[in-house]
Amino acid sequence: MTGEIIAILTVGVALAGLILTSVHGLRGEIAGLRGDTQAQMGELREEIAGLRRDMQAEMGGLRGEIAALRGEIAEIRSELAQLRERMAHLEGLLDGLREAIAARVAS
């Protein structure tokens, strides 16, 4: 029986060594994958930061354009108000001219 026990122990030690070697290999692969993942995450963060900077710059430009458009719209409104006043003045003059002509024709 001692031979059988030795054989069983030998097989057990061999299996334990095989398992430990496999676990060690898996740990190495996992560590490599973690490193790759962290590197990719870093690249992704840099890319996102770059896109964010680009968007902020573009938004700043758009804000400037919007401010310029608001100024132009204010100018157009002012000019339109002036045109309304001029038209009202001309309408008043035309009404007066009409009344003057009508008064001459009537007399």
Those residues of the chain that have pLDDT short of 70 are: 1, 107
Per-residue model confidence (pLDDT) at position 99: 87
Interacting residues of 11 by C-beta distance below 8 A, sequence separation 6+: none
Q: Give, as one character, the DSSP assignment of residue 97.
A: H
Task: Round to whole Å and give the CA distance between 84 and 88.
Answer: 6
- Look over the chain and give the mean of its residue pLDDT values, rounded to a whole number: 93
User: For residue 13, what pLDDT is reported?
Assistant: 92
Q: What is the pLDDT of residue 1?
A: 67
